[in-house]
Amino acid sequence: MKNKNNIPILKPHKPKIKEKETGVTFCPVYGPLGSGFTKKTKHYSDVIILDVGPNFFKIDKTIELLEEIKLRPMKTFKWIDHHNWSQELIDKYKCLKVSNSAESCAELIDTTDLEALSRTIVFYGADCDGLISAALVSMGKSISQEARNELIKIAKLCDTARFTQCKIANILHQAVYMARFNTDSYIMMNSILQEIINWASNKMNNKCLKLIVNLSKAYDENILPNNIKILNSPIVDFKHIKAFNTAHMAYVDLSYICSMLYQDGCKYVLFMNSGGISINCKAGNIDLTKEFNTCGIKHKVYIPIKNVGIKDLTYIIDRLEDIRR
Residues that bind Mn ion (CB under 5 A): 51, 105, 129, 159
**For Mn ion, the closer CB: 234 or 296:** 296
**For Mn ion, the closer CB: 108 or 139:** 108
**For Mn ion, the closer CB: 46 or 51:** 51
Report in angstroms how near the CB of residue 41 gets to Mn ion at its nearest: 22
Residue type, 92: K
H helices of 6-113, in order, are 37-41, 59-70, 87-92
**For Mn ion, the closer CB: 90 or 117:** 90
Backbone torsion region of residue 161, taken as left when φ is above 0, otherwise alpha when ψ lies between -120 and 50, otherwise beta: left
Report in angstroms how near the CB of residue 160 gets to Mn ion at its nearest: 9
Report in angstroms how near the CB of residue 79 gets to Mn ion at its nearest: 13
**For Mn ion, the closer CB: 52 or 188:** 52
End-to-end CA distance of the chain, in Å? 57
- The distance of Cα 259 from the centroid of its chain, to the nearest Å, equals 15
Report in angstroms how near the CB of residue 82 gets to Mn ion at its nearest: 6
Report in angstroms how near the CB of residue 152 gets to Mn ion at its nearest: 12
Residue type, 203: K
Give CA separation, 18 vs 14, 42, 114, 116, 280, in Å: 9, 11, 22, 19, 43
**For Mn ion, the closer CB: 44 or 302:** 302
Report in angstroms how near the CB of residue 22 gets to Mn ion at its nearest: 29
Report in angstroms how near the CB of residue 107 gets to Mn ion at its nearest: 10
Residue 74: CA count within 13 A, CB half-sphere: 6
Residue 193: CA count within 13 A, CB half-sphere: 34
Question: Angle, to 10 degrees, between the axis of helix 145-159 and the axis of helix 185-201?
Answer: 140
Beta strands 276-281 and 300-304 are antiparallel
**For Mn ion, the closer CB: 105 or 126:** 105
Beta strands 236-237 and 241-245 are antiparallel
